[in-house]
């Protein structure tokens, strides 16, 4: 038989690996800083670029797209070449992909602290960066399909299906969720508003977790776990079944992020049902991973790589059981907006993604440098410190989440809220925040053990830039197997495979989203709800810039405990002019949906200057720069025009007078502040922010009769 000689490109794998480790350290450091900021608000050193609201998205983006994204690409580039028995299709494209991705990360690291954000979670980057992401992501897909098409191995291994599903679905999600109307180079508004925007965002957010943090990592698990254990995967049948079931079901479950919100009931229920169903394929994957080690558990004892992988797969199993439980309405009523969610996502991120990444790094680097791991003992220590870190992180967060939620809901025998002051419930859980940051510190410290160990390993060996390999060319003859033709036919045809995966994913997406687009024409309009005034609109953009949505929701759920605390529950019709929606997902501070007219202007002014002046013990950062920075009103006409083209009924030509109205409203607020002894100036950021906060939720108070 004629055998071809070729080589695998290890260089690109090395680059992605190094980037991943560097950004893991950066991302975790930022995470640690914001964790401490929750009990030491001064830790932003009074610098606006380091406030919680601005660097919290930096943390999530760095961990998801820089740390986990880069290791995912490293693992895909390593395993894809080997299971296809072919070098990557195009080395230059690989390099373009690598440098393009790092450029995106750099752009994120600059823009997010500057407050340039769309405010949509995990999709915060502004439109020029969104375009870059699309181009770079397509280059990855082109390279992957190029490699699959020129492969020598006839059949496509299950890991590669997961990679294909990842590529196809992330492309769809990114495009749909990023449709926005640019106002300037660094500012855009989501074309969707209110309820519609919320549904699209959480359809995206949920499936970004599914197809960026789950499917590619299952693919990596199917390659690296058998490699590390040196035995085949437990059941190939199960892998096929759970692959199709997983990608089909996942896409439907997005609405479980919006339970008890203004979203239609049937969509909420659909999200719940599919979330429960999701346990089956998720656990199929977990069991397939764990059972691969059947009869080889003794090896786990002395192999740190397997230890990392076992904890990773176990964490995956825990998180994918917890997720469906959280999507039950009764559980969600307690967990939503609390630290429970934070605990849940960190079981996934630290446990599943982190531990699997470390296992893969410890496995790949000795292989690529042709040597043995420098210190097994150190890797074992890293394993234990990370595992302890996860425990110290998650347990206090569960505790904090449940405790705070119960306090929010507690009534006295007389029927009034037992803890009417939100801050009181926050102060109760500060000790938990302290323990959590200790857990984070342990996990972070483990990173340095990993770096030292891997550098020492690399130094002991010699990097194999191009790994020689040989295989026979692809023989295009008839299928030699007897039964199960259809699936093999499919998996020999990657393009058709990708199209089928796309169809499977789109069914769920369309059934979920199409009615939402219909909502727009069916939404009950509330006559009293009017567009924001120009000053309020500017104030809203300051709210977005400062990342207030990281800690404050704008959605009162229909519970007595919430209507007592905040006021009338939120109606879908109240959000029709909200591009983007700002419902938030976490209440570190109280809900603001009915904040308007609750406090006088002077309260807000002093509260922004130093929250502890008004609420002793508050953990909110100070925003003194809002008092001194001048509001940029040159953008007002462009913003009014943009909003009008998105359907907000500003009269034609209003953009020419908008700034006059803005100044009039600013003068009224300033006069009120001056009357109360504050030497305020009308042209500062704070005036716009106060105008926005005082408007929140007031429309339906104006005329109760117009509310349905």
Partner 1 sequence: MLSEHISRIDGIAIYPIISLIVFSILFIGTIVWVLRLDKKYLTRMENLPLDSNFDNNSEEIKFYNNPEK
370 CB-near residues (< 8 Å, 6+ apart) = 461, 462, 464
248 binds partner 1 per the rule CB under 8 A: yes
Choose one: 130-138, 446-454, 522-530, 694-702; the region binding partner 1 (CB under 8 A). 522-530
In terms of CB distance, is 237 or 675 closer to partner 1?
237
262 binds partner 1 per the rule CB under 8 A: yes
Find the shortest distance in angstroms from Cβ 453 to partner 1: 25
In angstroms, rounded to a whole number, what is the distance separating the alpha carbons of residues 263 and 571?
Answer: 9
- 102-130 in b/e burial notation, b at 16+ Cβ within 10 A? bebbebbbebbbebbbbbbbbbbbbbebb
The H or E element containing residue 601 is helix 601-609
- Tell me the chain's radius of gyration from C-alpha atoms: 26
In terms of CB distance, is 199 or 315 closer to partner 1?
199
484 binds partner 1 per the rule CB under 8 A: yes
704 CB-near residues (< 8 Å, 6+ apart) = none
Beta bridge partners of 337: 586
DSSP string, 307-331: HHHHHHHHHHHHHHHHHHHHTSHHH
Residue 181, phi then psi, degrees to nearest 5: -100, 115
Helices (H), 112-252: 127-149, 158-177, 194-208, 215-229, 236-250
480 binds partner 1 per the rule CB under 8 A: yes
511 binds partner 1 per the rule CB under 8 A: yes
Give the single-character DSSP code of 63.
Answer: I
227 binds partner 1 per the rule CB under 8 A: yes
In angstroms, rounded to a whole number, what is the distance separating the alpha carbons of residues 352 and 16?
Answer: 19
The H or E element containing residue 471 is strand 466-471
314 CB-near residues (< 8 Å, 6+ apart) = 286, 290, 351
Tokens at 323, concatenated: 């997720």
Find the shortest distance in angstroms from Cβ 366 to partner 1: 16
In terms of CB distance, is 195 or 394 closer to partner 1?
195
82 binds partner 1 per the rule CB under 8 A: yes
Find the shortest distance in angstroms from Cβ 540 to partner 1: 24
Q: Is 69 exposed, middle or buried (0-12, 13-18, 19+ CB in 10 A)?
A: buried
522 binds partner 1 per the rule CB under 8 A: yes
The H or E element containing residue 442 is helix 430-460
630 binds partner 1 per the rule CB under 8 A: no
DSSP string, 639-702: HHHHHHHTT--PPTTGGGTHHHHHHHHHHHHHHHHHHTT----TTBHHHHHHHHHHHTT-HHHH
174 CB-near residues (< 8 Å, 6+ apart) = 123, 130, 133, 134, 137, 204
276 binds partner 1 per the rule CB under 8 A: no
Find the shortest distance in angstroms from Cβ 226 to partner 1: 6
Find the shortest distance in angstroms from Cβ 484 to partner 1: 4
Choose one: 20-28, 130-138, 141-149, 480-488; the region binding partner 1 (CB under 8 A). 480-488
Q: Quick one: which of 30, 68, 233, 690 contacts partner 1 (CB under 8 A)?
A: 233
Q: Quick one: which of 40, 175, 185, 237 contacts partner 1 (CB under 8 A)?
A: 237
In terms of CB distance, is 266 or 657 closer to partner 1?
266
Choose one: 12-20, 69-77, 150-158, 637-645; the region binding partner 1 (CB under 8 A). 150-158
Find the shortest distance in angstroms from Cβ 100 to partner 1: 28
In terms of CB distance, is 219 or 348 closer to partner 1?
219
In terms of CB distance, is 185 or 507 closer to partner 1?
507
Find the shortest distance in angstroms from Cβ 473 to partner 1: 8
Find the shortest distance in angstroms from Cβ 96 to partner 1: 27
Find the shortest distance in angstroms from Cβ 521 to partner 1: 9
Residues 450-469 that bind partner 1 (CB under 8 A): 469
301 binds partner 1 per the rule CB under 8 A: no
482 binds partner 1 per the rule CB under 8 A: yes
Choose one: 436-444, 507-515, 544-552, 656-664; the region binding partner 1 (CB under 8 A). 507-515
Q: Quick one: which of 245, 373, 551, 673 contacts partner 1 (CB under 8 A)?
A: 245
Choose one: 78-86, 164-172, 447-455, 630-638; the region binding partner 1 (CB under 8 A). 78-86
- 161-170 in b/e burial notation, b at 16+ Cβ within 10 A? bbbbbbbbbb
In angstroms, rounded to a whole number, what is the distance separating the alpha carbons of residues 60 and 181?
Answer: 24
Q: Quick one: which of 42, 45, 232, 630 contacts partner 1 (CB under 8 A)?
A: 232
Residue 471, phi then psi, degrees to nearest 5: -165, 160
**Angle, CA of 291, 297 and 301, to the nearest 5°:** 140
6 binds partner 1 per the rule CB under 8 A: no
In angstroms, rounded to a whole number, what is the distance separating the alpha carbons of residues 113 and 122?
Answer: 15
Length, in residues, of the chain: 708
Find the shortest distance in angstroms from Cβ 703 to partner 1: 17
Choose one: 117-125, 246-254, 315-323, 618-626; the region binding partner 1 (CB under 8 A). 246-254
Find the shortest distance in angstroms from Cβ 495 to partner 1: 20
Nearest CA to 341 out of 521, 206, 500 is that of: 206
Find the shortest distance in angstroms from Cβ 483 to partner 1: 5
Alpha-carbon 283 to chain mean position: 22
Find the shortest distance in angstroms from Cβ 265 to partner 1: 4
CB-CB contact of 86 with 160 (8 Å): no
In terms of CB distance, is 488 or 701 closer to partner 1?
488
504 binds partner 1 per the rule CB under 8 A: yes
Q: Quick one: which of 507, 597, 628, 660 contacts partner 1 (CB under 8 A)?
A: 507
CB-CB contact of 538 with 633 (8 Å): yes
199 binds partner 1 per the rule CB under 8 A: no
Q: Quick one: which of 518, 527, 560, 645 contacts partner 1 (CB under 8 A)?
A: 518
Cβ atoms within 10 Å, residue 616: 9
Give the single-character DSSP code of 514.
Answer: H
In angstroms, rounded to a whole number, what is the distance separating the alpha carbons of residues 279 and 357?
Answer: 23
Find the shortest distance in angstroms from Cβ 708 to partner 1: 6
152 binds partner 1 per the rule CB under 8 A: yes
Q: Is 194 exposed, middle or buried (0-12, 13-18, 19+ CB in 10 A)?
A: buried
79 binds partner 1 per the rule CB under 8 A: yes
Work out the end-to-end distance of the chain between its first and last CA atoms, rounded to an integer number of angstroms.
78
168 binds partner 1 per the rule CB under 8 A: no
Q: Quick one: which of 252, 358, 363, 532 contacts partner 1 (CB under 8 A)?
A: 252
Residues that contact partner 1, how many (by CB under 8 A): 67
Q: Quick one: which of 88, 373, 523, 687 contacts partner 1 (CB under 8 A)?
A: 523
36: left (phi over 0), alpha (psi -120 to 50) or beta: alpha
154 binds partner 1 per the rule CB under 8 A: yes
Binding mask 540-579 for partner 1 (x = CB under 8 A): -------------------------------xx-------
Residues forming contacts to partner 1 in the complex (CB under 8 A) are: 1, 3, 79, 82-83, 85, 152-155, 157-159, 195, 222-223, 226-227, 230-233, 236-238, 240-241, 244-245, 248-249, 252, 262-266, 270, 277, 469-472, 474-475, 477, 480-484, 486-488, 504, 507-508, 511, 515, 518-519, 522-524, 571-572, 708
């Amino acid at each position: 038989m004629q055998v071809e000689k070729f080589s695998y490109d290890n260089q690109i794998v090395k680059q992605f690996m190094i980037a991943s480790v560097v950004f893991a350290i950066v991302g975790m450091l930022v995470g640690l800083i914001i964790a401490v900021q929750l009990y030491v608000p001064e830790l932003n050193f009074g610098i606006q670029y380091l406030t919680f609201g601005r660097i919290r998205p930096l943390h999530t983006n760095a961990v998801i797209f820089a740390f986990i994204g880069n290791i995912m690409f490293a693992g895909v580039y390593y395993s894809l070449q080997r299971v296809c028995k072919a070098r990557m299709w195009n080395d230059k494209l690989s390099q373009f992909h690598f440098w393009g991705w790092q450029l995106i990360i750099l752009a994120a690291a600059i823009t997010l602290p500057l407050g340039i954000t769309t405010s949509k979670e995990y999709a915060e980057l502004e439109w020029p960066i969104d375009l870059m992401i699309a181009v770079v992501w397509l280059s990855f897909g082109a390279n992957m399909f190029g490699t699959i098409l020129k492969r020598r191995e006839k059949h496509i291994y299950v890991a590669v299906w997961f990679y294909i599903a990842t590529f196809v679905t992330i492309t769809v999600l990114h495009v749909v969720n990023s449709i926005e109307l640019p106002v300037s180079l660094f500012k855009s508004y989501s074309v969707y508003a209110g309820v519609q925007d919320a549904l699209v965002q959480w359809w995206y957010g949920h499936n970004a977790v599914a197809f960026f943090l789950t499917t590619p990592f299952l693919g990596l698990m199917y390659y690296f776990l058998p490699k590390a254990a040196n035995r085949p995967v437990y059941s190939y049948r199960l892998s096929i079944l759970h692959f199709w079931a997983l990608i089909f079901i996942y896409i439907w479950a997005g609405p479980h992020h919006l339970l008890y919100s203004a979203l239609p009931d049937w969509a909420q229920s659909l999200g719940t049902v599919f979330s429960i169903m999701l346990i089956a394929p998720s656990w199929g994957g977990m069991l397939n991973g764990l059972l691969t080690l059947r009869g080889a558990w003794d090896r786990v004892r002395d192999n740190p790589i397997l230890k990392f992988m076992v904890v990773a797969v176990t964490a995956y199993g825990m998180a994918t059981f917890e997720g469906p439980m959280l999507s039950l309405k009764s559980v969600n009523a307690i967990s939503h907006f609390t630290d429970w969610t934070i605990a849940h996502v960190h079981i996934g991120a630290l446990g599943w993604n982190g531990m699997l990444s470390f296992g893969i790094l410890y496995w790949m680097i000795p292989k690529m440098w042709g040597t043995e791991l420098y210190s097994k003992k150190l890797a074992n220590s890293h394993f234990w410190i990370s595992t302890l870190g996860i425990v110290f992180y998650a347990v206090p967060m569960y505790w904090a989440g449940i405790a705070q939620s119960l306090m929010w809901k507690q009534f006295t025998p007389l029927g009034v809220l037992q803890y009417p002051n939100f801050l009181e419930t926050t102060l109760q859980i500060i000790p938990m925040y302290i323990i959590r940051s200790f857990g984070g510190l342990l996990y972070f410290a483990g990173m340095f053990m990993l770096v030292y160990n891997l550098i020492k390993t690399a130094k002991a060996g010699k990097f194999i830039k191009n790994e020689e390999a040989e295989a026979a060319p692809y023989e295009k003859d008839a299928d030699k197997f007897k039964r199960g033709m259809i699936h093999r036919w499919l998996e020999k045809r990657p393009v058709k495979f990708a199209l089928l995966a796309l169809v499977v994913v789109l069914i769920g997406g369309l059934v979920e989203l199409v009615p939402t687009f219909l909502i727009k024409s069916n939404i009950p309009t509330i006559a009293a709800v009017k567009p924001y005034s120009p000053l309020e609109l500017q104030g809203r953009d300051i709210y977005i810039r400062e990342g207030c949505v990281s800690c404050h929701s704008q959605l009162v759920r229909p519970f007595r405990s919430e209507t007592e605390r905040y006021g009338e529950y939120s109606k879908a019709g109240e959000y029709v002019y909200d591009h983007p929606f700002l419902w938030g997902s976490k209440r570190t501070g109280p809900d603001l949906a009915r904040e308007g007219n609750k406090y006088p202007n002077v309260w807000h002014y002093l509260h922004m200057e130093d929250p502890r002046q008004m609420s002793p013990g508050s953990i909110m950062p100070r925003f003194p720069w809002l008092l001194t920075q001048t509001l940029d009103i040159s953008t007002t006409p462009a913003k009014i025009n943009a909003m009008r083209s998105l359907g907000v009924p500003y009269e034609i030509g209003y953009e020419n007078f908008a700034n006059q109205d803005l100044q009039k409203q600013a003068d009224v607020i300033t006069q009120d502040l001056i009357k109360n002894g504050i030497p305020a100036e009308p042209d500062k950021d704070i005036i716009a922010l106060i105008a926005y906060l005082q408007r929140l939720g007031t429309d339906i108070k104006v005329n109760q009769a117009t509310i349905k």
